Amino acid sequence: MDLLGQTDTNAPTFVNCRAYRVLLWTGVKTGNAPVHYTVRGGDQHGWRWTQTGAIQSGANQWFRVALKLPHRMEWLRIEVSGGTQALKSKIVGVRG
């Protein structure tokens, strides 16, 4: 499932991302279990880049993840998994 709750693995979470070189993802999760994430970048020709990781913060603690994109991508998909907990987050794109 992605951050927006979409389960179609071909559906991007964000489109028109070509202007961004870094995404800053901040938020809070309600449980102690780690949240595993996969970020995919691509375009109409498919997914061409993948980065994985885990958010290890405790319950109700802030987290921050900097996602450095290796090159400009039109679409981004952020998939998350890990226990039954709520995840509230904000993503800001850095242009450059």
Its pTM stands at: 0.90
The total of other beta-carbon atoms located within 10 Å of residue 45's CB is: 7
**Per-residue pLDDT, 54:** 97
Does a structural domain hold residue 71?
yes
What burial letters (b/e) apply to 64-80, b meaning 16+ CB within 10 Å? ebebebeeebebbbbbb
**Per-residue pLDDT, 57:** 92
CA angle 18, 71, 51 (to 5 degrees): 105
**Tally of domains in the chain:** 1
Does a structural domain hold residue 3?
no
Does a structural domain hold residue 38?
yes
Does a structural domain hold residue 39?
yes
Does a structural domain hold residue 28?
yes
The predicted-structure confidence for 17-64, as pLDDT tens digits, reads as follows 999 999 999 999 999 999 999 999 999 999 999 999 999 999 999 999
Does a structural domain hold residue 10?
no
Tokens of 9: 């693995």
Q: Which domain holds residue 51?
A: 20-95
Does a structural domain hold residue 62?
yes
